[in-house]
């Protein structure tokens, strides 16, 4: 059993404002639910970023500091299924760019699946999977001195509070050499009628994704959460530009977590904060970049201007 998980759950549920980290959404069931989310009609983020990768591939390539003859490493933080990245890889291959693709992920299983798929679909692509923590991998690559392009897509940075995002960006910047690029995908601030349904779909997949966290605590920490006694509650204000997800207790209840030998009390309507999905604009991105050495080069938008891929340079 993961002892960080146990400690984090105990800390989060013992605090006066209960919190559970969204990083714990992704067990096997959570991974499968997230794949379903990406295909939901309401979840515009994946489709919008795919639109940029499919229709603006040349603009992406033009904005990157790369040349066909000079070898570079294309590093992707969080491998995913590669659907968007494949659009870029196809064009780089057909234009004879000299590069290697290095997907980085904590899950070896996800990397194996991606590598097998790429071997079939893009047999000439050089792929080197890197299992581990993002920064351990980036630090190990720094010594090689090859120019790098780092992809951090899908608005994954949006799942960090602003202070965490700043820290992440400055660590990322420190792990790069001068002239290396970052391609950062962020969801943009827009009205509630578009954002909120993306986190509250009609078919209830996002609800299951959020509440799966309680299943995970039941399974891994011998707890007795009654999932039906809790609800999924997303909130969003355009002014703040932040969507937050909560799990709400439907009644006054007690839950025992066996692995902690402890009982947690929930009041009726008490909330557990589980996720932040920060939306961006130029001003917010500027504050996140301000203490790093990364500078904006280009901003590419999808056809509806819902999502942006920023190209940054160190």
Residues at the site binding ligand AVI, with contacts judged by CB under 6 A: 37, 45, 154-156, 158-159, 199, 206, 209, 275, 277
Greatest CA separation for the chain: 65
CB closer to ligand AVI out of 73 and 275? 275
CB closer to ligand AVI out of 155 and 292? 155
Query: Measured at CB, which residue is nearest to ligand AVI?
Result: 277
Query: How far from 62 is each of 48, 149, 312, CA to CA, in Å?
Result: 20, 13, 13
Residue 178 is classified by DSSP as: T
- Minimal distance, residue 68 CB to ligand AVI, in Å: 33
- Minimal distance, residue 156 CB to ligand AVI, in Å: 5
Percent composition of the chain: helix, strand, coil (DSSP 3-state, to 5): 45, 25, 30
Rounded to the nearest 5°, which phi and psi values hold at 309?
A: -110, 115
CB closer to ligand AVI out of 26 and 264? 26
3-state secondary structure string across 219-273: HHHCECCCHHHEEEEEEEECCCCEEEEEEEECCCEEEEEHHHCEEEEECCCCEEE
- Minimal distance, residue 77 CB to ligand AVI, in Å: 12
CB closer to ligand AVI out of 49 and 73? 49
Query: How far from 273 is each of 12, 19, 74, 160, 235, CA to CA, in Å?
Result: 9, 5, 35, 13, 11
- Minimal distance, residue 71 CB to ligand AVI, in Å: 31
- Minimal distance, residue 20 CB to ligand AVI, in Å: 13
CB closer to ligand AVI out of 39 and 283? 39
Tell how far CA 274 is from the center of its chain: 15
């Amino acid at each position: 059993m993961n002892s960080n998980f146990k400690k984090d759950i105990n800390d989060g549920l013992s605090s006066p404002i209960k919190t559970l980290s969204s990083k714990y959404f992704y067990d096997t069931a959570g991974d499968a639910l997230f794949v379903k989310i990406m295909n939901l009609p309401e979840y515009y983020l994946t489709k919008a970023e795919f639109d940029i990768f499919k229709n603006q591939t040349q603009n992406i390539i033009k904005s990157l500091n790369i040349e066909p003859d000079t070898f570079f490493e294309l590093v992707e933080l969080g491998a995913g299924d590669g659907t968007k990245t494949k659009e870029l890889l196809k064009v780089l291959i057909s234009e004879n760019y000299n590069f290697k693709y290095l997907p980085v992920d904590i899950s070896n299983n996800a990397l194996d699946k991606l590598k097998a798929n790429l071997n079939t679909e893009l047999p000439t692509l050089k792929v080197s999977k890197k299992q581990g923590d993002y920064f351990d991998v980036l630090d190990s690559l720094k010594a090689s001195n090859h120019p790098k392009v780092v992809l951090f897509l899908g608005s994954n940075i949006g799942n960090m509070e602003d202070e965490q995002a700043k820290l992440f960006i400055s660590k990322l910047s420190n792990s790069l050499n001068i002239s290396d690029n970052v391609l950062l995908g962020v969801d943009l601030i827009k009205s509630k009628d578009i954002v909120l349904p993306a986190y509250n779909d009609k078919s209830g997949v996002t609800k299951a994704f959020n509440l799966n966290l309680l299943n995970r605590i039941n399974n891994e920490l011998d707890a007795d959460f009654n999932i039906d006694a809790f609800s999924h509650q997303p909130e969003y204000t355009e002014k703040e530009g932040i969507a937050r997800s909560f799990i709400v207790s439907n009644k006054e209840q007690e839950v025992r977590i066996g692995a902690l030998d402890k009982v947690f009390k929930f009041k009726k309507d008490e909330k557990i904060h589980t996720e932040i999905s920060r939306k961006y604009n130029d001003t917010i991105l500027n504050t996140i970049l301000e203490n790093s050495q990364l500078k904006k080069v280009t901003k590419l938008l999808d056809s509806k201007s819902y999502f942006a891929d920023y190209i940054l340079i160190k």
